[in-house]
Structures are given as structure tokens and as C-alpha cells.
Structure 1
Amino acid sequence: MVAKIKSGKSLIGALNYNENKVKQDKAVLIAAVGYPKDAECLSFYDKLFRLTDLAAMNQRSKTNAVHISLNFPNGEYLADETLRGIAGDYLRGIGFATQPYLVYRHEDAGHPHIHIVTTNIKRNGERINLHYLGQNESEKIRKVIEIKYGLTKAEEQTQQKPDLKAAIAVASYGKAETKRTITNILSFTLRSYKFTSVPELNAVLQQYHIQADRGAKDSRMYAREGLIYWVLDQQGNKIGVPIKASTIYGKPTLKSLEEKFRLNTQLRKPFKEGLIKILDLVLAKPQTKNTFQGELLKKDIQVILRQNDEGRIYGVTFIDQKNKVVFNGSDLGKAYSANQLSAQLLPDLPGKINRQRQSDDEIAGNVLRQTATGGNELMDVLFAAEREDLAALNKFKRKKRKGLKL
């Protein structure tokens, strides 16, 4: 079992997160301990006010929200009754025995887990100290619970590498709250991928139908280094109302992203040579745009080619999905820039070629059939142009002979 403790200043934010998951059928409230009603009878405000009333007992403490997740490995599915017992034992172990709390079973990731929402302010106004809570009390009770319930140990669980990408759903406007959807996707992307510019970030985000937008270069927002995030439709068009970066959890503003860009510039360096070797191997054979993208996709490398209306490539980005690194083509070297690739890749005409081959085969077949039956109509049609040219040539020769009196 892996336990994660987050503390904050917004009880309503922690509650909203879980209640939105319930609305999306991705979570279920399985316990409400320390409440005057049964869990199924509680309204949103019943859940909230029980916690905020306690938090109000200590006006000086700004941090009054505690949001805990207990995570179990794939395949370790536990009954709700067991999960309720684990949650209760864990909270008693970290000193929250007298606190009211809510337990949600989540089904929005690749592994089983529960979320617990509570407050660290007691009825008498005293504050439960959260300093080193995760390192000390949490670690002790975690080990006791693993033995008691026969759970996979945290040391073994952390060796597993779940497919995080599979746990992140592509944004679909209107299906869930826009801000929450963008927050979830950004949280995963910023944590998992190494990119060094907004366009490189967008190369990843657009996989999930999200886009970071600085605005037009002559706009006020661009001048003030503002940043907003959009949800995109299936065609890649912006839809709905954009969300300001400063209002999103973690504040993924341009300023904070630029710090990440500088760090990622160093972090992605070890993966550069490996990517170049793969590109060289694929480009050693003649490739069209489609085959180039297809061959690299087999090696977990996504190629994003930006083309103008005439089909000319003016930009290229490589996403190494295995190592979660993003490179602009020119950053790898001149040979992998948009201009060089545009000159090297053959044109994509598979549809036209196939249709032509099919047409040629049909004509050849008809010719064979007509010849076998002694028919000459199709032959006359096929060679009409050539016969006209031949007749014209003979006519020209006759005139020339006549002129020469031959």
C-alpha cells in the first residue's frame, strides 16, 4: 500500500474533486465517519459544513484541509468493507481518531485506490501537527496495515510501472467540468514529459485535445506573458471557454513553465543520441511522410509534421513516448529539420497509385478477354489516340514527299 498525504487551505476544493468524480461515475462514497447521517443521506453541504465548522474553531490556522490517497497495486481489488477498515486504521495511526472523514473509492486510474477527506482542526480548536506526518506516523501504520490485511508492501508496489497515459482520458467538451479535465491532463503531462517550449508542450497536450495558448503576438495577453488553456474538438478547433493558467491547480503559468523548460533542457539530453539512431535507421530506407510516421510509431515515437496548404513541411516535432521526451526536429540536428525532411521524404500518393494500378489491371484484363474472343472494339478505343498520331505522321510524310517530288 502506498499512502500520499496532501494538506491545503481549501476543504471545498478537496470535497469538490471527489464529488465531481462521483458525478462522472468514476468514484463512490463508501464511508462518512463522524457524521450525524448515513453516507447515502448526506447532501454536499452536509459533507462540507461538518468539516468547515471544525476548521472555524481555529481561525489562525490557514492549513485546515487534509486529502489522503491510499493506493493499491493492480489486481489487489478489495471489498468496500475492507477499504473502510483500512481507512479507519490508517487515520487512527496518524492521530486522526476523533476527526470526521469521508472515504471515496476511485475508479479513474489503472490501479485501485481510495481518497480520504478530513480536517486537522479538532473540536477544541487544537491543530493536529502535519509536520513530518508522512515520514513518521504514516510509514509506521502503513507497515502494520500491510501485515494485518495481507497487502502488497509499498516497496514492492513502487517497482510496478502502471501505464499512466492509459489512466488519463482524452478531453471531451461537455462531458466533464472543463477546468477539472484540463487540470488532470496538465498534471499528468507536466509530471511525465520533458519539453522545452510551449509548442513542444502543445505537441503532447494535443494528444488529449488540450492546447496552451499565449494569444496573438500583437495581443495584450502575449505582451503581458499571459497563458490560457483550451479544450479542442475532434478537428483540433478551440471549443468552449478558455481557462486562465493562474486559476488552475499548481498554477502552470508561462513563468512557471519557463523554469520547467530550463530544467527539461538538461533532463532530456541523455535521450537525444538514442532518438537520432532510431531516426537514422528509419531514414536509411526511402520513406514517404506516411511510412516515416508509421515506422517510427512502431518504435513508440510519434512524429508531428506541420504542413502548409501545398503539403510542404514547415515544422516537425518528435515525441518519444517510451522515454517521455519531446524534441523539435532542428534541436536534433540539421538533418532532422523540417526543410531537410521535406526534401528527403517522397510524396504520399498511395491512393492515386493504388487506383492507377487497379485501373491498369482492369484494362489489361479487358484487353486479354477481348483478344481471346476476337473482339476489336476495346483495342480500337485503347489505341485510338496512337492511330490518330500515326495517321497524322503519315500524312505529314506524304506531303513532304510531294513537296520534294519523290
Structure 2
Amino acid sequence: MKNFLQDKNSLTYAEKVHRFQHLNELNTRAKLKMLHATLNFEPSEKLSNTQLADITDRYMQGLQMQDHPYLVYRHQDAKHPHVHIVASLIRSDGTRVNTHLMAPRLSEPTRKAIEQEFSLQPSQQKQRIRIPPIEAVQKIVPGDNIPVTQAMDRILGAVNRHYHFANLHEYNAILRAYNVTAETGSPGSKTHLHKGIYYTALDDHGNKISPPVMASQLTSRPTLSRLNEKFHQPAVNYMDNLSSIRQRIDWALDQQPETLRELLTHLQADAIEIVTPPRNGRNPHDYVYVDHRTRTAVTGNILGPAYTTSAVTAGLTQHHRTPQHKQSQQQPDSSKFNSNTPQLLSALLHTDPGGPGPDPYQQDLGHAPRRKR
């Protein structure tokens, strides 16, 4: 915390907000009034709070905002040390800081200078990453030592290269197996208005365990514009892949499974996983079949009327079960799972206890967009 009248230990959250609001009210014309930046460091860099404060002060000096009141939060949720900076862009005389091309004009030169002055490892953001084979990619696990952004880069690079998908639902169905989800923001949000996309790490229950990471912050560059190109460029053997998926679903149904669990067991033996839509009803879609043999994700309604959620459910054998018994066997217990994310049907049908809850760090994220070091 810098340039506040009170001591940081006695300053309440309401007083912090009031200080920013007072400055913002001095300029009624500006639309963007807050700066939210992050400074990110390599996991091997063991920096003290004093060092992080000095680096932050140097960064704000580089942005020519050293006299503005700003808050600094140290955060470790992404498995690498980083700080969040929140500041008002409105000066005490009511004028606004010029943010036009601030990143190349001020932020990037300051970042390079800080790396030299504080003997930090150079940023690797612009380097091209080596995309691993899909077999070498592991899902994100809470508490793992691998930085979240690094794990995401490997997962997204491999999935985008090796899997075929035709829409965001199918894309998320694949990512769910790796504990990642992609979101384009709620209607009216800056991300949605600017056609952006961000990624968040999940635990096995679909709860978020990291802050959102914008596609532009990842070296694999899984932006929405690139995804849209992939959506409209089906693989050469796409129709053959769909035919193979239909045949294997038909075979599984021919075994006359009596429950979803039995059907899923047959499909998993043939390398097919089923992913259900979020249960909050905001992004409804049919079951998504993820075929790890042909590396294709496809919704049931694309495969045909016989493969939709309702058709498959209705086709399950009923003559050995009473309706009450069948309902109790088939209804998955999803009480431990996040209703905002797609879920692997295998996880819903084989629930296990535990799993951390959502990341509690949300209080100041809404002040303004981030700017990465």
C-alpha cells in the first residue's frame, strides 16, 4: 500500500474503496478509471515482501504513477509468486493518466529494466513453447508444484493441436478431463464485448482453484479468434471419426445396459467419455462424447437424433428395473460438484469426498483489467 493517509494495518476495505471513489468522482468523463496490473515471477525466485514492495514501487515509477495511491497484494494461488496492483487512474486534479499504448510505451520497458536492476529471470512469455504429445500431458492437480500458467500452456497447446472440436462446448468437454475450463465472460463484460477468452484451473469437482488467465497471457495463444478458425476447419477424416463414434455407441447400447453407469463402462472400454453440461442451466447443450481414440469431441445432436441425451437415456433397458429403482441407480449425486462447469459423467457417477472449494480471492478483481508484466 502506498500514498494512503492511514497506516495499512488500520485501513479498512471500505476506506480503501472510498479513497479510490473520491478520486474517480473528480473525472466524470473517463470510462476507464482503475488500473489492475500483475507482476509475475518465476517459482525459483524467493522474494521477500520488502523486495516485492520495492519492485512494485519501481514499476509504478515506470508507469509514471508513483504519486497515485495504490494497493499491492501478494498472491500464491497460481503456483508462482506474483503481486496484484490496484490503483486509480485519476489524478488529484481530476485529469486522467494516458493509458494509450501504455504496455509498449511504459510497462514493457519498465519490466525489462526491473529484471536487470533486481537480477530477476527474464520473462519467457514471448518464447515459443514446445507442444508436447498428448500422451505426455497431465491434468492440473491442486497443490502441484508446476505453475498453473505453465501447465495450462502444455494442456491447451496439446489439445488444440491433437484434438478436433467444432464449438466451445466440445472444447470445454476435452479440457474438463485436464481440469481446465474456458470462458468468454458474461454478457456485458469487457471480455465478452471484446471477444476475448480466459482459462481457469479446476479441481476434480469443477471448483476454480486459480484466477482467470487471459489467452493473450499464454504462449500457446489459444485466443477466441484462433479457436473460431479451428471450429470452421474440420479434420479431413472428420466424417470417418463420427462414423466410428456412432458404431461404438451402438455397440454399447446393444449390450442392453440398464443404467448410465453400465453404459459409461462400455463406452470407456472403447475410449469414449461422456461430458454433461453445467447444471446451472446457463449454457445448455447435449451430452458431449469425447473419443480419445480418434481425438474428437462431438455433441450428441451432431451425431444424430439417436445419440442425443434424451434418446440415449430413453433407450436404456428398463424391463429389469422398477421406475423407482432405476431412478435411484441413474441419478448422479452432484452435490459436491460445481454447477457452473461441465462435468465428466464418470466423475458424477463415481463421486468421492473431498476437494477444495473455490478460490476465495475475488474481492478486488473487479476494479479494472489486469496488465501483465
TM-score range (shorter-chain normalised) is 0.3 to 0.5
Q: Which has the larger radius of gyration?
A: 1
Name the one with the larger helix percent.
1
Name the one with the larger strand percent.
1
